[in-house]
Amino acid sequence: MSTSSTSPDPRSASSRAGLAGPAADVGRWFSTAARAGAPAAATPSARSILRMPAWGPVPGAEYGHLSSEAESAAALELLRGPPVTVLTGAGMSTDSGLPDYRGRDAVPRAPMTYQEFMGSDLSRRRYWARSTVGWEQFRTARPNAAHHLLAQLAPEPLDVTAVITQNVDGLHQEAGSDPVIDLHGRLDRVRCQSCDALSSRAGLHARLLQLNPELAARLPDLARDAARAPDGDAEVDRTSTFRYPPCPLCGGILKPDVVFFGESARREVVADAFAALEVSQALLVLGSSLTVQSGLRFVRAARKADKPVVILGDGPTRGDEHATARLHGRLDVLLRRWAGEA
């Protein structure tokens, strides 16, 4: 893999920290609300960067179905008693105001990849500008009924070994679930890509506002416009002049402590998740489209071990063919039925 002579040098502290002079205006290349059928935008250098397709509702899929109470009861019987591992996805947090990527109301967008973030100063300016706006929505999110109901279902009728979540919002912990394995990390933390030091996202947010007073002045209006975009995907008109700080310990690149598209989850976290699945006798999936391998592998592992897999959610998932039982509907409605039967 090669880079052009005009690509920013990732070893340059001023370049990676975004503290040099304004980069070239990239205009609408930074648009995340991709038009259906539109060609992929070119990258700002010759670097070959993995580009994810724009995500949105599954074309042709049917949403809004509700499984019967008899089907709900039968699915619960598959899970009642023996240890159960729970896997959750973005659909778990939509009622907390955190939009998903594949649900019925999802807005098509192309999330930034790890390769893009690490390979381009322009991309990091874009991410942190939008993330600063999106953080206003994210940090005020609170657990919804589904989070609370899941916590209340343990230890009876569900003997939960762990909640493995693909979400990065910390809402399961706030609702009382324990233990929780944050498969994709936590957005309220920041990790240096050089020295691995962890720091607070809240502290970085304050620093970003200090470095970018013009954006800070517009933040309330921008936050309202970004209310339907996941953190980091909020639309900001111009990002080329945005400034972001380096790691205060080593000068390295700071990145949210979350797994970006194109990046692998931390090995020790994946090991903890599989350990939880190994000691369970069933897998319950809540609100995940299972579009990416990161979550789907647990479904496949459970079926390979001949463990029942129960999937709850609205709309299709990539794991439906592996499901022992498939319940359709809003998570709060389905889980409330189970709480009533407990």
Domain ranges of the chain: 62-341
SS3 state of residue 187: strand
Per-residue pLDDT of the chain (342 residues; tens, 9 = 90+): 433 333 333 334 444 445 533 332 222 223 333 333 333 333 333 333 333 344 555 555 667 889 999 999 999 999 999 999 999 999 999 999 887 655 555 445 567 899 999 999 999 999 999 899 888 778 889 999 999 999 999 999 999 999 999 999 999 999 999 999 999 999 999 999 999 999 999 999 999 999 999 999 988 888 776 655 545 455 555 677 899 999 999 999 999 999 998 899 999 999 999 999 999 999 999 999 998 889 999 999 999 999 999 999 998 999 999 999 999 999 999 999 999 854
| Residue (of 259, 291, 258) closest to 102 by Cα position | 291
- Report the alpha-carbon distance of residue 31 to residue 46 in Å, rounded: 20
Buried b (16+ CB within 10 A) or exposed e, 26-38: beeebebebeeee
Which residue in 172, 184, 205, 328 is the catalytic one?
184
For the question of residue 184 being annotated catalytic, the response is: yes
The Cα-based distances of 107 to 50, 304, 318 in angstroms read 21, 35, 19
- What contacts 305, CB < 8 A, 6 or more positions away? none
Q: Quote the tokens at residue 205.
A: 């947010």
How far is Cα of residue 31 from the mean position of the Cα atoms in its chain? 19
How far is Cα of residue 156 from the mean position of the Cα atoms in its chain? 29
Contact, 317 vs 288, CB < 8 A? Answer: yes
Eight-class DSSP state of 113: B
Contact, 114 vs 262, CB < 8 A? Answer: yes
| Residue (of 7, 83, 88) closest to 276 by Cα position | 83
| Residue (of 117, 268, 127) closest to 185 by Cα position | 268
CATH fold label, 62-341 = Rossmann fold (3.40.50)
